[in-house]
Structure 1
Amino acid sequence: MTNINRRSFLTFAGLGAVGAVSLGKPWGLQYAGASTIPTSGPGTTLESVSTPVSSSGYTRLTAGPGWANIVRSELAEPKSGREDRRTALASLVQLTDVHIVDAQSPMRFEYVHQITGSAFRPQETLTAHGLISLVRRVNSIGSGPHTSRPFDAVVTTGDNTDNKEFAELDWFLTSLNGGTVVANTGAKDRYEGVQNSGADLYWNPESPMLDMYKKAGFPEIPDFFGAAFTPVSSPGLNTPWYCVFGNHDDSVSGTVPSGIPPLEAMYTGSLKFEVPGSPEQAKQIDIATKFDPSAIPGILSAFTTPPRQVTPDPSRAPFTPRQFIAAHLDPAHTGPGPVGHGFAPDAGETGIGYYSFQIAPGVVGISMDSTNRAGLVDGSLGAAQFQWIENTLRAGSSTYYDAAGSRVTESRSDTYFVLFSHHTSDTMDNLIPDPENVLEPRLRGSQLLDLLHRFPNVLAWVNGHTHENKITPWPGATPEQGFWEINTASHIDYPQLGRIIEIADNHDGTVSLLATLFEAESPNSVEYSDKSAAGLASLYRELSFNDIHRDPKLTGTGVDQNVELLVHTGR
């Protein structure tokens, strides 16, 4: 481990003093006085946020005012003058839950969306366009808005694909590394999915039929599919990026365990079930995906509505975790690096999906694999990984607390740690044994919280999965044992955001985590005749805002959006 390297950074001279809002204890907002924290950061939500034109019905979006930067002081008090003293240690970007979708795959259950809204999204044909626009935004921002430190790393915290298909994985890797994406599978000259099924259940964009989405105001858009399947180029990220497993990268539809032969065969087959014979059949499938996946083939065989004949495509084949890792290790997918995007050179054989990496001198990232190979939505950690996390933290800590709570001091350099996972602390209770290691105990998120409290140099645990902006302080037994859990919204469901996290030493016994959200680099609104890549990325955001299943709480409140999070270091 390397000693923390103090570096100078460019200040926002001339911006003037502004009133920063501080989150007091407990949860009361109070003004903390003048601050040099900027009130606008070009390209971020400090500057502007997409906002609806209308407060009811289907609406277009326009540029709205930016979100304020809020100082949160639950773990450490902000000290005056820190903006002038601080040194930038690291600057990183979190992308999460981009859910690149093969919208025509036969191995999907779109028809249960009235029960489980995420089963079908009207914008899902445009996920590649949305991600490429997000990549462009990361490149154009380039550095942290508070410290001007160029981005050291981009970390994508899981659910990179929607349904663990090789086609989806190729589009994801190409989008982040650079190249051309044609987001189409099956027939090359036509769309074969639920959005031209003629079924009332779905938005049929090219049809004048009044489906349930058009009844809610969704538009008719001629030549929608031809535009969506036009090749779109990605510049690729300019910054080295690292990958984390999500449950959708590991399980069928993010919940059904792999290895059920009839379901595996459906991926590359020619039959697509689009409409169940009755709402009861849809409910049976929804329940089976969550609790009894082996029952799915039998339920499908009883459907009274015949499946659609579609063009089979071998690129829809599902990948295994080892194949997912191997694709990242393929030299063709190195992009800005590093080789493997964090995964060890032999991880394609071992299947080990966790690793550590240097974000910047003195700041180390720990990438965890919180998926459970037995399937289901929620996760946990295997005992071997849990022990590896403890060993990694101990090796980079001069002071820590043992399991009994006694303080231990050793002669080694201190390193700051930021941990990354897909699942959150409260979505890690899936203790079903790993099919490849049935005797290994599984550990909960609450047990990981206890472990992290033992190491004062842990700054944050960054994750996704819930598609929600939510930031939680985790105070410890002493002030220095506290850290933050930073949960960020997805890039498939609105508000479709990424998050910048700048780490700065305030040289007063505290470190600030300056967390800033940003949207993709696409217009707030375009004419529906605009079929350019930027226009389709704009439509992607608009459709997500108007999705009949949209959950407004995913945006979070001000204390979960643009924030300064203070951590007491004891130094």
Structure 2
Amino acid sequence: MDKKSNDSTNQKKEPEKASYPIDTAVFTTAERTIVPIPVPSDATKPLIHELTQYTEHGYGLWKYGAGLPHEKRLDLMSAGYDPTAVTHSSSLLHFFTMTDIHLTDKESPGQVPFYGDQWGVISGYSGIMLYTTHVLDAAVQTINALHQKKSFDFGISLGDNCNCTQYNELRWFIDVLDGQLITPDSGAKDDPIPGPYNDYQDVYQAAGLDKSIPWYQALGNHDHFWMGMFPPDDYIRETLVGDTIINLGNIFTSTDGIKSRGYYMGALDGSTPYGDIIGAGPVADFPAGAPTVPADPNRRSLLRNEWLNEFFNTTSQPQGHGFTEADAAQGFACYSFEPNAQVPLKVIVLDNTQNDDDPVDAHGTGRGSLDSKRYDWLVNELDQGQAEDKLMILATHIPIGATPESSGLNALMSWCPYAAVTEPDLIAKLHSYPNLILLVCGHRHLNMVTALKSPDDSRPELGFWEVETASLREFPQQLRTIEVVKNSDNTVSILTTNVDPAVKAGSFADISRSYALAAQQIFDLPTEDRSYNAELVVQLTPEMQEKLANL
């Protein structure tokens, strides 16, 4: 296949020597997959915090399996379309997506391990909280290795870099990609196992993303809402930089939301080898007063504009990672860019998280939404791209009209009723742009592909694909590569491939994978068929066929 994109071979720079190198063998799931080993039917189920007992009882075990072929999807094509003789003629674009990393300050007094440990909320606690920066570092090294095989034009993080809006969580993300020294510790300096590189608290050198790969950023709900669900109030903000563990009720059921009280949520003790949960339980269990941890001013909660501005404090490219200084100052997290001057294609990055001043109802503020300013901006960008005969890719954090899981679409993942445009009206508008071929997103921690078919059977080019990327936090802890290729019959194929970060046996990223799988098994969540590779065929307009004819 011809490669029609920037050839950066002579610009590539070897990354810094990583403190935690990955396996030398790097594959995508098209070549090799991670296969969970079923837990024995008679196994004793450990409690989620009993990390040392996982392996003993058969939890968190996996093996390598065969590659996962790309399923050719013709959902958007006209009835009778025959792809039998069609071949790929040239590559137009090659990029990667990663999302929902949820870098977690595990020692923060504002996290909620009690929810996970006692109430079964996987996002509240699992053993992976110890190793979130290490998993990101392994993912970056994996991307670098894949880049040596086939150059990426760019990469994009689709949001939820942070778990809890904290400054230090965001800095860990940017610094890992920049290849800085990482101190995955907060509050008092801890070294649970004396010596370097032998525990989750040790300072280490991140490899850094290959400097020849530009990377871009989208805003997620966890990046500016506490736990992704609530605008931080004064109590939350003071708690994060203080020493007193947060006191909450059940924010999922209480009408008081984050003003409910009754339980100390706990924190992880960074001085213990397995990050023991401390300071968690009913308030009545602490007659001597509220439990405390060492305070840290770097845990401060970032406002939306502060979060955006931090992307100008970076050593990688582009400066701002898509955001402009003027827009960042106003908290406006939308922009567009054209990744390859040789290919008529633009990427539109849209902030579709809720506004900070939206009414806070029983579902919090973690749903998809657009206000009038962002919707008008989106329409203008789409109009411009269509008028200029450019293919368009839309990147958001939250899915739009995605296929529900078989268990049903959780209300927390639905479209916000306070949005300036309803979800059906937004989809109808998107269907009016024949050059829109793809929407990439995260948020649900799933690998799913949805065909948003044309409302007019005679115009299949009005349909587009939506590709969700799973979380780097929860199992299967994956990223995606996406390649747009031109076909011999003037259609386009989108090749989307899951990637498991390459891990060296016994490394922290390897341990995290085991913990992530075990958490799924302990909480009785799906573990099978979590990967999905596909070839998604798209019909081009005659105008785009002509424009791409010589590429």
Q: TM-score, normalised by structure 1?
A: 0.75
1:98 aligns with 2:106: no
Residue 246 of structure 1: aligned partner:
220
How far has the Cα of 1:552 moved from its partner?
4.8
Aligned equivalents of 1:94 and 1:165: distance in 2? 23
Stretch deviating more after TM superposition (313-322 or 116-125): 116-125
- 1:366 matched to 2:337? The reply is no
AA in 2 matched with 1:346: A
SS of corresponding position for 1:459: strand
Task: Give the 3-state SS of the residue equivalent to 1:397 in structure 2.
Answer: helix
Code of the aligned partner of 1:48: R
Q: 2:157 — aligned with what? A: 156
Note if 1:430 corresponds to 2:416.
yes
Q: For 1:135, which of 137, 140, 143 is the aligned residue?
A: 140
Match of 1:321 among 289, 304, 319: 304
Per the alignment, residue 22 of structure 1 pairs with none
Correspondence for 2:72? 71
Among 276, 283, 296, the alignment partner of 2:260 is 296
Q: CA deviation at 1:51?
A: 2.0
Q: Where does the alignment leave 5 or more consecutive residues of structure 1 unmatched?
A: 11-40, 192-205, 207-221, 399-412, 433-440, 527-534
Partner of 1:410: none
Identity in percent: 27
The Cα offsets for residues 123-170 of structure 1, whole Å up to 9 and x where unpaired, read as 1110000000000001100178xxx4x211111111111001011011
1:7 matched residue in structure 2 = 4
Distance 1:328 1:136 in 2: 21
Is the alpha carbon distance of 1:347 and 1:8 closer, same or farther for their aligned partners in structure 2, counting shifts above 3 Å?
closer
SS at match of 1:187: coil
For 1:43-442, what aligned pairs fall within 5 Å after superposition? 43-56=27-40, 57-76=58-77, 77=81, 79-84=83-88, 86-113=89-116, 114-142=119-147, 148=150, 150-189=151-190, 227-238=199-210, 239-258=213-232, 260-273=233-246, 284-288=250-254, 291-296=255-260, 303-306=283-286, 307-330=290-313, 333-335=314-316, 337-360=317-340, 361-372=343-354, 373=356, 374=358, 376-398=365-387, 413-426=388-401, 427-432=413-418, 442=420
Aligned residue type for 2:376: Q
Q: 1:450 to 1:553 in 2, by over 3 A?
A: farther
* In 2: Cα distance, 1:226 partner to 1:312 partner: 25
Matched with 1:33 is: none
**Does structure 1 conserve the Cα–Cα contact (< 8 Å) formed by 2:191 and 2:201?**
no
What are the Cα deviations for residues 292-346 of structure 1, in whole angstroms up to 9, with x where unaligned? 335235776982133322110001111111111110022xx141x1110000121
In 2, the alpha carbon distance for the partners of 1:176 and 1:81 equals 42
Aligned residues: 457
Q: Does 1:491 align with 2:472?
A: yes
Deviation at 1:232, TM superposition (A): 2.1
From 509, 516, 523, give the equivalent of 1:544.
516
SS at match of 1:391: helix
> For 1:502, what is the secondary structure of its paired residue?
strand
Q: Scaled by the length of structure 2, what TM-score is found?
A: 0.77
Contact 1:467 1:554 in 2 (8 A): no
Letter of the 1:250 counterpart = H
The answer to whether the aligner puts 1:522 opposite 2:503 as a matched pair is: yes
Looking at structure 2, the residues matched to 570 and 550 of structure 1 have their Cα atoms a distance apart, in angstroms, of: 47
Alignment-mate amino acid for residue 565 of structure 1: L
Asked if structure 2 preserves the Cα contact closer than 8 Å seen for 1:353 and 1:369, the reply is yes
Mapped partners of 1:143, 1:503: distance in 2:
19
What secondary structure, in the 3-state scheme, does the structure 2 residue paired with 1:51 have? strand
Please tell me the root mean square deviation across aligned C-alpha atoms, in Å. Answer: 2.8
Shift of residue 183, structure 1, vs aligned partner: 0.6
In structure 1, C-alpha distance between the alignment counterparts of 2:370 and 2:191, rounded to whole Å: 43
Q: Report the secondary structure of 2:339's partner residue.
A: strand
Q: 1:47: Cα distance to partner?
A: 1.1
Mapped to 1, the partners of 2:427 and 2:141 lie a distance apart of 35
1:42 positional shift: 5.4
* Structure 2 residue matching 1:312: 3-state secondary structure: coil
**Residue pair 2:87, 2:488 contacting (<8 A) in 1 also:** no
Q: Does 1:457 align with 2:438?
A: no
* Deviation at residue 428 of structure 1 after TM alignment: 4.8
Match of 1:569 in 2: 540
Deviations 1:384-431 (A, max 9, x none): 111111111111214xxxxxxxxxxxxxx3101111111111445223
Aligned amino acid, residue 287 of structure 1: T
Residue 309 of structure 1 aligns to a residue in which SS? coil
The corresponding residue for 1:200 is none
Specify the code of the residue in structure 1 equivalent to 2:257: P
Report the secondary structure of 2:517's partner residue. Answer: helix
1:82-115 C-alpha deviation (Å, 9 max, x unpaired): 335x211100100010110000110122212224
Conserved 8 A contact 1:285-1:299: no
Aligned partners of 1:554, 1:342: CA distance in 2, in Å?
Answer: 35
**8 Å CA contact 1:137, 1:520 repeated in 2:** yes
SS class of match (2:311):
helix
Secondary structure of 2:95's counterpart equals strand
Q: CA deviation at 1:537?
A: 0.8
